[in-house]
Amino acid sequence: MNTRTSALDTLVFGVDVQSGDVRGDAPSYAVVAFDGENVDRDVVSHRKLRRLIEREEPALVATDNMYELAPDKDALVHFLSELPDGTRLVQVTGAERPEPLSRVASRHGVPYDKKPMAEAEAAARLAAGNVGHEVSAFADTTEIKVSRGRSTGKGGWSEDRYTRRIHGAVRKRAREIESELDGAGLDYERDATEKYGGLSNAVFTVEARPEDIPVSNRRSGDVRVEVERVRRDGIEFEPLAKRRDHVLVGIDPGTTTAVAITDLDGNVLDVLSTRTADTAAVIEWIIERGRPIVVAADVEPMPETVEKIRRSFDAAGWEPTSDLPIDEKQHRTREHDYDNDHERDAMAAALYAFDDHEDQFDRIVEKIPPNVDRGEVTARVVAGEDTVETALADLLEDDDSEEETTEHTPRELTAEEKRIKQLESQVERLEAHVEELDDTVAEKDDRIEELEQELSEARREERREARERRTVTRLERENERLERELDERETEIEQLEGKLDRLKQLWKLDHSNFSDVSEKKAGLAPVKPIAKFTKGAIESAHESFGLATDDVIYLRDASGAGRSTAERLAEVDPEVVLIGRGGLSDVADEILFDREIPVGPADDVTIQEVDELAVARESEIEAVIDDWEDRAEQRRKERKADQLDQLISEHRADREYDSSGARAE
């Protein structure tokens, strides 16, 4: 419970809806800033109200209805989360069941009017006088989350070192925060996740509010720190100040003694259950929380312990006509929290006592003037058995002695003295009227200056918002451009990573100790497949896994190749070309033969596919090459024989031509 005794040394905002509705049209708010002496008034939008609270950081933001600031519970929680650390939202009309603001203002002697600005001022003055309940959606517990500030990546030769660096930075920052919390003397629990090289994250649960913790939100490089208050299950209300007002007390005695305290409006203020405290300790606990008017029990007759406590406070007693049934006690306390049956029974006794006296309390409130303490009158009537009139007479009795007066007979004024007195009175009235007119002119001048300042501020705000809109538009376009570039880079990276993976596989296949092939399959050679005997397929294979001298090339479909395609393949200078479906064209066969590139059927070789690559037994490849060498030698001999026959034929033709020419001459 808050023990603050005064708000007059701080700034308090009173807020009330001026026009519109937070659930529909954009509302405007009457705002009153009150520091105990000075009062400033303004009308602002919801957005400007939030900026004003953020800039001024008032101690309290007071309203008669918290749902004038937010349309629903979730929006209210969001509003509370955005308040500055030192700012509290106060509902001055009560907790779950608020009273009319007019009644609360009247009870505490605060001026009230139905106009929004007057209601905002009344709320500010009431909160400054510690009237109302703090609205809270967060516990006095804070979570500090330390985590990685960036991803550890998808891989690469330096991934381990990079990951170790990030996790090491998280662990270092977690140790620094732990040292800062220890230095501040704060209680906390630490939960961390160990990862390679350090920590991937650490969560500190601290028993304190964010403003009391020497750690703030931060993101720098490898580490991100987030500070968040722990949210409660619902909205809770706490009295704004701990005051010794008149209260009703319910007591359940026994091995475990339970005590419950309510105010004169039936709101449960506090509950206690103890197995160790004696009667004196219980009485002291009650004294710290209020002055009992009624002490109640849930059974009949009133137990001796309860009667003893009642007599110590000279309070009225209350007991039921018969013991309260358990189901009725459960029903009456259903809207309140308690830890055990003893607290429930004490709370039920206090609430039933309030129910029995509620009409009497209301009648008392109707009869007392605003400047009289309601609790004092109620105590005199209920516990002292006075009438309201008698209690009021005692409280309003004037203790000041009457001043002695001396009688004398005034002297008769002359006509001249009467005229002088008349003129002086007239001058005094005229001077007072002139002062009033001067004040009116000054007020109007101040108002004109205020309006001019508001107009200037509105124009500056409009220009600033226009600049912000232009900046946002430009940044959005720049962001879209960067996102497109990022997508392109990611696509390129994926392609290069795929190519790198394929090159790694090829490198493994090109070395005798690659790990993807077991020892029993030693003696294998890499084979690079090409889908078709076309330039496009050759280039695609070259881009995917590279084509180099002495490679074993496997043409899945060898048909249809022309001269330029065959020459492109010959430029690679492979060790052998294995032919799959189809047959080589004569042109391609001739070019490969002329370049002395072995060609053989793929069916003669056992080829095993490995992703986009393949392997084959070196012995079978060598057999294909040897077979081609035999066929090539035979083909060379046949070609030489054909060339020799052609030369002989040409020689004979020349001789016959010479002979016929000679005969012709």
**Residues 103 and 183 placed together within one structural domain of the fold:** no
CA 494, 496, 499, 501: dihedral to nearest 10 degrees?
-70
Q: What is the CATH number of the domain that holds 187?
A: 3.30.70
Q: How many domains does the chain have?
A: 5
Q: Residues 254-278: what's their mean pLDDT?
A: 91
The answer on 283 and 199 residing in a single domain is: no
Poorest-pLDDT segment among 52-56, 166-170, 505-509, 586-590: 505-509
Q: Give yes or no: residues 527 and 625 share one domain.
A: yes
Residue 594's domain spans which residues? 521-647
> Quick one: 230 and 250 in the same domain?
no
Evaluate whether residue 281 is within a structural domain: yes
- Mean pLDDT across the stretch 330-336? 92
| 254 and 358 assigned to the same domain | yes
Is pLDDT above 60 for 511? Answer: no
Residue 403 has pLDDT above 50, yes or no: no
Residue 6 has pLDDT above 60, yes or no: no
Mean pLDDT lowest among 252-261, 397-406, 593-602, 619-628: 397-406
Q: Which of 307, 334, 367 is the last residue of a domain?
A: 367
Write out the two tokens for 163.
């990951």
The better pLDDT of the pair 329, 445 is held by 329
Q: Residue 400: inside a domain, yes or no? A: no
Does residue 174 sit in the same domain as residue 269? no
pLDDT band at 425 (very low <50, low <70, confident <90, very high): low
Spatial CB neighbours of 357, under 8 Å, sequence gap ≥ 6: 248, 294, 318, 382
Q: Verify that 266 and 336 share a domain, yes or no.
A: yes
Q: Give the C-alpha separation, 443 to 438, whole Å.
A: 9
Residues 228 and 332 in one domain: no
Examine the pLDDT at 518 and tell me if it is beyond 50.
Answer: no
pLDDT given at position 197: 79
Average pLDDT over residues 392-398: 66
- Residue 515 confidence (pLDDT) above 50: no
Q: Is 585 helix (H, G, I), strand (E, B) or coil?
A: coil
Q: 286: domain CATH number?
A: 3.30.420.140
* Maximum mean pLDDT: which of 35-44, 134-143, 221-230, 481-490: 481-490
Average pLDDT of the residues of the chain: 82
CA distance 306 to 259: 10
Does the pLDDT value for residue 3 go beyond 50? no
pLDDT in tens, 209-254: 888 888 888 877 788 898 888 888 788 888 875 556 789 999 999 8
Same domain flag for 535 and 621: yes
- We report the CATH number of the domain holding residue 69 as 3.30.420
Residue 404 lies in a domain: no
pLDDT of residue 32 exceeding 90: yes
Domain boundary among 235, 258, 284: 235
Q: Are 343 and 274 in contact (CB under 8 A)?
A: no
Domain final residue, candidates 107, 131, 155: 131
Q: Are 73 and 145 in a shared domain?
A: no
Whether 659 is in a domain gets the answer no
Looking at the domain assignment, is residue 73 inside a domain? yes
Residue 374 located in a structural domain: no
174: in domain: yes
Please answer whether residues 68 and 36 qualify as being in contact, where contact means their C-beta atoms are separated by less than 8 angstroms: no
Which of the pair, 663 or 390, is modelled with greater confidence? 390
Where residue 33 falls among pLDDT bands split at 50, 70, 90?
very high
What's the mean pLDDT in 66-82?
86
Q: Are 505 and 549 within one domain? A: no
Task: Report whether pLDDT(417) > 60.
Answer: yes
Q: Tell me how far apart the alpha carbons of residues 101 and 94 are, in angstroms, rounded to a whole number.
A: 9
Compute the residue count for the chain.
Answer: 665
DSSP secondary structure letters along 166-203: HHHHHHHHHHHHHHHHHHTT--EEEEEEEETTEEEEEE
Per the domain annotation, does 488 fall within a domain? yes
Same domain, 227 and 278: no
Tokens of 167: 């996790």
